[in-house]
Amino acid sequence: MIFSIIVQAPPVQSQGAETALRFTRAVLAAGHQVHRVFFYRDGIHNGTDLASHPQDESSLPAQWQALAQEHNLDLVVCIAAAVRRGIVNEGEAKRYHHEHWNLAPGFELSGLGQLVDTCLQADRVVTFGGRS
């Protein structure tokens, strides 16, 4: 079965993003496919390259990257949500005249159309962190 995962929860303040990560791992472990993980709303903070965690904790952005690398996952961050919240890649940084950028490698900025597209491709769409 083909799954699409939509993450609206930020990495630290709520558990939604961690649950999404574990769910994605479980889907893959059960032999299903993940068409795309789409990060929307505060979920875009999962795509930061600048999060630092205490040694006895793990960084969610790093775990997404590792999982994506292992399974060739498409990690897409909503560009409108990200630019508003200050998560940008080099291209967007230049467009908005910022000197720095912070989108982690392995994540890609794209439009909300990619959310609609992944729903069209999937047998199951699961959202995490809605309702707030």
78 is catalytic: yes
Q: Which of 3, 5, 6, 106 binds another protein (CB under 8 A)?
A: 6
120 dihedral zone (left: phi>0; alpha: psi -120 to 50; beta): alpha
> Does 40 help bind another protein (rule: CB under 8 A)?
yes
> Does 116 help bind another protein (rule: CB under 8 A)?
yes
Shortest separation between residue 34's beta carbon and another protein, angstroms: 16
Single out the catalytic residue among 78, 81, 88, 103.
78
Q: Which helix (H) or strand (E) holds 5?
A: strand 2-7
Q: Among 127, 104, 102, which residue's Cα sits nearest to residue 41?
A: 127
Joined tokens for residue 110? 């794209």
> Does 2 help bind another protein (rule: CB under 8 A)?
no
Q: Which of 7, 8, 70, 104 binds another protein (CB under 8 A)?
A: 8
40 dihedral zone (left: phi>0; alpha: psi -120 to 50; beta): beta
The residue ranges that bind another protein (CB under 8 A) are 6, 8, 40-41, 80-81, 111-113, 115-117, 119-120, 122, 125, 127, 130-132
